[in-house]
Amino acid sequence: MKKAQIISIGNELLIGDTINTNASWLGGLLTEQGFYVEQVFTIPDDYDIIYKKVKKSLQQSELTVVTGGLGPTHDDITKKVLVDLFDSKLIENREVLDFIKMIFERRGFTFSRVNAAQAQVPENCEVLFNNKGTAPGMWFEKNGNSLIVLPGVPNEMKFLMEKRALPKIHELFPDREVWATRYFKTAGVPESTLSEQIGDLDEFVNNGVGVAYLPGPAGVTIRISANADTLQLAEGKLTKLKDLLYEKAGDVIFGEGKNLKLEEVAGKILTDNELTIATAESCTGGLLSSKITDIPGSSAYMKGGVVAYGNEVKISALNVLENDLNKGGAVSKNVALQMAKGVAEKMKTDIGVSATGIAGPGGGTDEKPVGTVWMGFWIKGDHFALKAVLSNDRLLNKERTVMIILETVRRRLQGVNELPYQLKPHSA
């Protein structure tokens, strides 16, 4: 199996200012690509350490990926190392320079010498053109081993890796033993419940199929993987387990794909059913509509929303009855129901959803503790509310509420009876 090593450069990573998410993302990608990711080295912006580490890794492993140390204020330590390591010299890359100038023009920034320096690259590297930023990626070869150098800004690093480096990797390492990996995304079911529902998988694990439950704030992901000489053979090893997962937990699996998002799936279902949606948010403060509109093309089904933080807005913008606000309080079944129906009527949509709750950390009472959330649903006339009591973490409560609402919409539209966390609907 081809060996890969990752070198993350940057003092900020060592002193705890930045969490090294790049290494984790690269590790996942290289593993899928059939490399054995042996080590990750996180090192400071220090010439000697960078030089020693890159040189050694280049000798030890078929593929080395270096990230960081290329920003305009990193005084080019990394580039100096590369120049010395490959006894090369820096030359100006015209294409990169023009692109950087264009970016600065477009944004109306003043172009400066430090920016021009970013267009300087070692003569003997292949430039990986960076459409997302000013620091280009670089590809080097030495004794049949490869070295990829990328900027540390995550979205630029990911772009360069996927769009520029991967094609070269496929071409240079054709004989990799490939991994087939599948991610099954679930929402609204705890890890323990899910694993019990699916049951014992030793039969598969003993036959070399990897299984992992990966819990996250937005739900649990089931990851299964197997390797073989060809992707087809590896995929074949997963078929039986895949069928089992759908048989046992099909209702709570909203889709497949490591980065698949619930809002993406919900959006597709709305599109397929030619349905429109609007949101009425209090405690989630706009996070729900923001997630829905994270998806390109969401304007096809998302008409809009109201963030009704103050009670006056609940009344004026959503037709919530003042009487109900005074009687049951803003965090109540009736207010949630009226917000959902109100926004659907105002914005003339098929579906209206709402959230009103006590996000925390303060504001809780004995009868309505912090984390109490009422969610309202108006789905083509089907009118009901759900109550959940979540944590005392404000941001987590916002995220969980959004997830429950989206998953409830998905399950209702796909005819799944059980609701997230087995919540019971309160009808109007």
Give the footprint of its own copies on residues 218-277 (CB under 8 A): 221, 223, 258
CA-based nearest residue to 326, from 313, 335, 317: 335
Shortest Å distance, C-beta 63 to its own copies: 14
Shortest Å distance, C-beta 87 to its own copies: 26
- Told to check if 155 binds its own copies by CB under 8 A, we report yes
Q: How would DSSP label each residue in 136-174?
A: -EEEEEETTEEEEEE-S-HHHHHHIIIIIIHHHHHHH-T
Shortest Å distance, C-beta 122 to its own copies: 22
Binding its own copies by CB under 8 A: which of 346, 368, 416, 428? Answer: 346
Distances (CA, A) of 256 to 29, 154, 182, 183, 184: 17, 24, 7, 5, 5
**116-120, long-range: CB < 8 A, 24+ apart:** 116/92, 117/72, 117/76, 118/70, 118/72, 119/92, 119/93, 119/94, 120/76, 120/79, 120/90, 120/91, 120/92, 120/93
CA 188/CA 389 separation, integer angstroms = 13
Binding its own copies by CB under 8 A: which of 2, 3, 27, 242? Answer: 27
Binding its own copies by CB under 8 A: which of 59, 207, 299, 414? Answer: 299
- Told to check if 365 binds its own copies by CB under 8 A, we report no
Shortest Å distance, C-beta 48 to its own copies: 11
Binding its own copies by CB under 8 A: which of 48, 87, 94, 106? Answer: 106
In contact, 351 and 275? CB cutoff 8 Å: yes
Window of 90-98, 168-176, 321-329, 358-366 that interacts with its own copies by CB under 8 A: 358-366
Binding its own copies by CB under 8 A: which of 108, 144, 174, 415? Answer: 108
Site mask for its own copies (CB under 8 A), range 174-213, x = bound: ----------------xxxx-xx---------------xx
What does DSSP assign to residue 177?
A: P
Shortest Å distance, C-beta 141 to its own copies: 24
**E strands within 18-99?**
36-43, 63-67, 90-92
Shortest Å distance, C-beta 136 to its own copies: 16
Window of 60-68, 86-94, 233-241, 311-319 that interacts with its own copies by CB under 8 A: 311-319
